[in-house]
Structure 1
Amino acid sequence: MITIGELGEKIVATWLEPQNYQILHHRWHCRWGEIDLIALDNHNSELVFMEVKTRKPQNWDQNGLEALNINKQKRIYTTAQIFLSKNPLWQNYNCRFDLILLTYIIRKNNSNQGLIKILNSNQIMYENYIFTIKNHLKNVL
């Protein structure tokens, strides 16, 4: 069964693709950590390591912003270094670290089974869920 966090990552990947991002990896991991999404930003040919936080509205940690503490940042940075060492093709690209915060609500009686539908610039519907991209913070690390 897919978790709400994994579903949020899938939604963000769908949201990014029309914005000229090419998703390279979902949930890339090594023994030191995991990176939710790794993408190529085709606007400026940057390799982007993304952390995605999915929360219910009116959550305690500012939509996931407070969850990116110093220890989490270090794990992401170390994991990105390992990714680059194992994937020399990407070593000469400029890299950045983004944080994407989204919330979701659950709707009842939705017939949109299995389809992802972009409603507007920051809302995406999937089955019983409506996701809202609250913030896309670039260069957070």
Structure 2
Amino acid sequence: MANHSPSHYPRIGIAGEDLVVNWLESQGWVILHRRWRYRRGEVDIIAQFGEKGQDTGNKKKIPPSSPLLAFVEVKTRSQLNWDEGGRSAITQQKQVKLWRTALMFLAQYPEKANYSCRFDVAIVGYQETSQESYVVKTTREEQNSSLGNQYTLILYEYIPAAFDCPSS
């Protein structure tokens, strides 16, 4: 495994978010915010799916009563990482922090307070590509991206409603 500079990891993380944003938009979502912050938290992506009955990507239809907001946490990890592709990084403490940040977002945008909301998790993998060959197979489930032809990113899994509102 290469020893990367400190600036490497934020760049890879942003590239992973870019990949998820592109995928969400291709599924009909509208991106409202990226890296939305308040003093105690951040949400990687806040997306809205607004039309009645549109497909949400999880084979369920949105109830006709209101649009859907997704607060999306993106975990971008290299192969053979220590935390199950980022899954184990979504601890109870992290869930509470995301939930509180979502509440602050809804307080700042009260017109969205009655929307249905959920917390999604996107698992993105990356690997360094060799300079000799750069071939990526794309399936419907795997969306691919490149970071300066040095890395290949793949959306391995998108987990809608990955967790419920945690108890604080």
* Fold shared, TM-score > 0.5 on shorter chain: yes
What is the distance in 1 between the residues matched to 2:30 and 2:74? 16
1:31 paired with 2:39, answer: yes
- Runs of at least 5 residues in structure 1 that lack an aligned partner in the other structure: 113-117
CA distance in 2, matches of 1:80, 1:125: 28
Structure 1 match to 2:14 = 6
Matched residue type, 1:24: L
Counterpart selection for 1:87 from 73, 93, 109: 109
- Alignment of 1:104 onto 2:126: yes
Structure 2 unaligned residues grouped into runs of 5+? 1-6, 55-61, 164-168
User: 2:125 is paired with a residue of what secondary structure?
Assistant: strand
TM-score (norm 1): 0.87
- Looking at structure 1, the residues matched to 24 and 74 of structure 2 have their Cα atoms a distance apart, in angstroms, of 12
The separation in 2 between residues aligned to 1:81 and 1:32, in whole angstroms, is 12
Percent identical pairs in the alignment equals 36
C-alpha separation in 2, matches of 1:99 and 1:73: 11
Q: How does 1:1-141 map to 2 (within 5 A)?
A: 3-42=11-50, 43=54, 44=62, 45-109=67-131, 119-121=138-140, 122-126=142-146, 127-128=148-149, 129-141=151-163
Task: Write the letter of the residue equivalent to 1:69.
Answer: T
Residue identity opposite 2:119 in structure 1:
F
Amino acid corresponding to residue 3 of structure 1 in structure 2: R
Aligned pairs, how many? Answer: 136
TM-score (norm 2): 0.74
- One-letter amino acid matched to 1:41: F
Corresponding residue for residue 115 of structure 1: none
Query: CA RMSD for the aligned pairs?
Result: 2.1
Q: Is the 8 A contact 1:119 1:125 kept in 2?
A: no
